[in-house]
Amino acid sequence: MQQLRRAAKVYLAVVTAGASAALIAAVVAMVDDRQHLQVLLVLAPMFVLSLHLKSRMTQQVDLSANVPILIAAYLIGGWSVACLVGVSAVVLDRRKSISRVLFNNAQWVLMGLAGGLVYDAMGGESMQTLPDKGFSPELLPPIVVSIAAVIAVNAGLMSGILALQEQIRPSTIWRSMVLSSVGPYFAYGLLGLLMAVLWSIGEGFAAALVLLPLLVARRAWNQYAEQREAYESTIRALVQAVETKDHYTRGHSERVSRASVLIARILDMRDDRVEALRYAGVLHDVGKLGVPTRVLQKTGPLSDMEFAAIKRHPRNGTEMVRGIAFLEEAYNGIMHHHERLDGRGYPLGLSGNDIPEFARIIAVADAFDSMTSTRSYRGARDVSEALSELEKCAGTQFDATMVQALFSALERDPWTTVAPAERRQLDIELGSPTFDHDDPTANLPTEPDAQVAAEAAASEALNERTLHRRDVLGRGGWS
């Protein structure tokens, strides 16, 4: 756990003080008028329970049942009930860092306060009156505006702490957190409204059922996340298997993918495109399987025939991944990653902007990683050397924009070069006399070596980082 920065400390103190003031006011209001005590007594335990259940699950995407409960609280009982419900989860909060406990619970209180006050100000009435008046669309504007207030408070508080403490750019926060949370929050608001409606007709029992679709959706999301993880590690493992054909390229695909994503982030590419680019980067060389091992491992100069065989790999690779439903762009990235800006590349000899953007990115990432890792005929060069080499070739071989983007990316996140791979024995020759009949795994690698482990760690770190950025608001908290 890193230390809180000074500015973040001040920020945290202000937020906590604000929430404390709101709580005192809420308690006073509650003591004056006890008619909503029952709402508090039912909703607060639900709130605690759902937050507690949540913290016991490990997941990337979370559909929180807490926001609907908070919204239901102010729709039925006003801002004071919402503030008290919001603070209730502090009893079971097991986060280790005291600053995070303070911040997250203060945030719940302030969200409840803002929603409740805005709802009142817009002329919203307690849902308890619903059975007499009936439901009409006139009820909706105050609810919608109050939800917007809840979102604003959540997004404002979160971007404050992330900008001050974790130095994430406000534009990134805005795009990956605020925009992506608008949809879920209105869905939460709807659930809150539905809970309030059922409460008003005396079906408090059924109000809990409203959360069932949410829980089911959450389970599906978890399965989705698990499956995605499995998917990624499968691709990674299989690509590693492909790379065993050429010992010196181990980890190459993974690193090219990483570098491509770094470039894409600098270019402010949309998330789903980054995702497709990541897969394209990992799979860009998969077509090398169709190239004879002998040719791939050859150290001397290649004959025309051999070079022709190598030149087939982008096409082969595209053919192999055709059946997988990616964005069309990913196929293009694989197909054209050996094109050159001056038109002297392969397979089609495209030039300039005719080369798809993905391919221009992968070409730079590919060359960069080739230079910074060990080859059979030379050792690894260092990063600055490789970058100046890329700069020399910008405009003829590479797109200068992409080279520049790689420069900026590496200024921000330094590239971790790892020790060159040791050659390991992978070739099996049939009928090999050294084989031990009792041990089917003799001569076979059983443990990933240090480099593979380092790669895995690096790419995990990257994944976590992006997920963290994207979903921090969905979790409703700073964690």
Partner 1 sequence: MRRTWADEFSGGSVLVVAGGFLLAVAGVAATASQPVLDPQIAIAFGALIAVGELVRVNLPGDRSAAPIGAAGGLAYALLGDFRMPDETIPTTYGVLQVVAVSTIAILVGAVPHMAVGQPPRLESLARRVLIAGFAALLFRPLYTNGYLKDISDGGWRLPALMLAIVLFCGLVDALLAALARSGRERSPFMAAARDELGALVGIGSAIGATGVLIALAAEVMGYWALPLFALPLLVAQFSFRRYASIRATYDQTIQALSRVTEVGGYTETGHSQRVAQLSVAVGREMGLSEDAIKDLKYAALMHDIGQLSLTDPISGGATTLIARDDQRRIAAYGAEVIRQSGMDRVAHIVEQQTEPFRRPGQPFDANIPIASRIIRVANAYDDFAGGSMESVQRMYALGRLREGMAEEYDPLVVDIASRVVERTMLVDV
Name which of residues 4 to 33 contact partner 1 (CB under 8 A).
Answer: none
User: Is residue 252 at the binding interface for partner 1, with CB under 8 A as the rule?
Assistant: no
Residues between 83 and 102 with contacts to partner 1, criterion CB under 8 A: none
Distance between CA atoms of residues 338 and 215, nearest Å: 47
Distance between CA atoms of residues 204 and 277, nearest Å: 49
User: Is residue 430 at the binding interface for partner 1, with CB under 8 A as the rule?
Assistant: yes
Please report, in angstroms and rounded to a whole number, the separation of the first and last CA atoms in the chain: 11
Residues between 266 and 295 with contacts to partner 1, criterion CB under 8 A: 286-287, 289-290, 293
Distance between CA atoms of residues 30 and 155, nearest Å: 28
Q: How far is the CB of 438 from partner 1 (least distance, A)?
A: 10
Distance between CA atoms of residues 91 and 142, nearest Å: 31
Residues in the chain: 479
Residues between 452 and 471 with contacts to partner 1, criterion CB under 8 A: none
Structure tokens at 171: 């534009």
Q: How far is the CB of 378 from partner 1 (least distance, A)?
A: 25
Query: C-alpha angle 416/418/422, rounded to 5°?
Result: 165
User: Is residue 437 at the binding interface for partner 1, with CB under 8 A as the rule?
Assistant: yes
Structure tokens at 64: 């929180």
Distance between CA atoms of residues 446 and 466, nearest Å: 31
Please spell the DSSP secondary structure of 228-249, one letter per residue.
Answer: HHHHHHHHHHHHHHHHTTSGGG
Residues between 162 and 221 with contacts to partner 1, criterion CB under 8 A: 187, 190-191, 193-194, 197-198, 200-203, 205-206, 209-210, 212-214, 216-221
User: Is residue 448 at the binding interface for partner 1, with CB under 8 A as the rule?
Assistant: yes
Phi/psi at 394 (5° precision): -65, 135
Q: How far is the CB of 163 from partner 1 (least distance, A)?
A: 30
Residues between 294 and 323 with contacts to partner 1, criterion CB under 8 A: 316, 319-323
User: Is residue 444 at the binding interface for partner 1, with CB under 8 A as the rule?
Assistant: yes
Give the count of residues interacting with partner 1 (CB under 8 A).
Answer: 76
Q: How far is the CB of 8 from partner 1 (least distance, A)?
A: 34
142 close to 115: Cβ distance less than 8 angstroms: no
Q: How far is the CB of 198 from partner 1 (least distance, A)?
A: 6
List Cα–Cα distances, 366 to 256, 283, 373, 450, in angstroms. Answer: 5, 12, 11, 22
Output 413 or 427, the one with its CB closest to partner 1.
427
Q: How far is the CB of 335 from partner 1 (least distance, A)?
A: 15
Residues between 108 and 137 with contacts to partner 1, criterion CB under 8 A: 130-131, 134-135, 137
Residues between 226 and 245 with contacts to partner 1, criterion CB under 8 A: 227-231, 233-238, 240-242, 244-245
Helix axes 98-121, 140-165, angle to 10 degrees: 150
Of the candidates 225, 229, 66, 209, the one whose C-alpha atom is nearest the C-alpha of residue 150 is 66
Output 67 or 161, the one with its CB closest to partner 1.
67
Residues between 321 and 360 with contacts to partner 1, criterion CB under 8 A: 321-325
Q: How far is the CB of 204 from partner 1 (least distance, A)?
A: 9
List Cα–Cα distances, 50 to 90, 196, 222, 392, in angstroms. Answer: 13, 17, 16, 58
Residues between 134 and 153 with contacts to partner 1, criterion CB under 8 A: 134-135, 137
User: Is residue 51 at the binding interface for partner 1, with CB under 8 A as the rule?
Assistant: no
Output 127 or 403, the one with its CB closest to partner 1.
127
